[in-house]
């Protein structure tokens, strides 16, 4: 559940929420082609939705200022960060969608990660899912940005990193 003493999302309460323990986390690891990628996604349940905090390092870089990397970032319906020789994370399946909506209205469609010299940090609030809906699912980072219209998944390219969303044992 959410902390009653800091349940509303606003600038004053953000610190209070983040000092609490996330309901779920996902340890993000890169594929064999991108072994330097490591990170963490944290999921905090609030009265207004799920606060998602993500920090990742080791992302691919580009020296061209006009081509600063932007990475697609989604919750996928699969439960394993495993795959095959063609797709290191094939078992993550497609974007998580409770209501079988079209892209970009999948439950698991999230804002992209913006690379900053191999590092990305993101925090956002979503009312598309609560933490308990996504337990056992996976978060996936794609090599390219999501275009938010190509079906079925935004043409964001190869899956380069993955993390399994695990419950932190809160009551």
Q: For the whole prediction, is pTM greater than 0.75?
A: yes
> What is the tens place of the pLDDT at every residue in 52-61?
999 999 999 9
pLDDT higher than 50, residue 2: no
pLDDT band at residue 5 using 50, 70 and 90 as cut-offs: low
pLDDT value of residue 170:
54
Where does 4-167 sit in CATH, by number?
A: 2.60.40.200
Question: In the predicted model, what is the mean pLDDT of the chain?
Answer: 88
* Number of Cβ within a 10 Å radius of residue 131: 24
pLDDT value of residue 12:
67
pLDDT higher than 90, residue 13: no
Residue 103: closest CA among 51, 43, 155, 162: 155
């Amino acid at each position: 559940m959410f902390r009653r003493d800091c349940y509303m999302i606003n600038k004053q309460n953000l610190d209070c929420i983040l000092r609490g323990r996330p309901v779920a986390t996902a340890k993000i690891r890169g594929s064999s082609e991108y072994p330097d990628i490591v990170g963490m996604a944290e999921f905090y349940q609030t009265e207004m939705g799920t606060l998602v905090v993500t920090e990742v390092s080791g992302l691919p870089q580009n020296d061209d200022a006009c081509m600063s990397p932007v990475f697609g970032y989604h919750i996928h319906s699969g439960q394993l960060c495993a795959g095959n020789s063609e797709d290191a994370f094939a078992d993550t399946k497609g974007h998580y969608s409770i209501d079988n909506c079209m892209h970009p209205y999948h439950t698991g469609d999230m804002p992209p990660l913006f690379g900053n010299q191999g590092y990305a940090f993101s925090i956002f609030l979503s009312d598309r899912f609560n933490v308990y809906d996504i337990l056992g699912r996976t978060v996936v980072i794609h090599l390219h940005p999501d275009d938010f219209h190509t079906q079925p998944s935004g043409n964001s390219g190869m899956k380069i990193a993955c993390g399994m969303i695990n419950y932190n044992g809160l009551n």
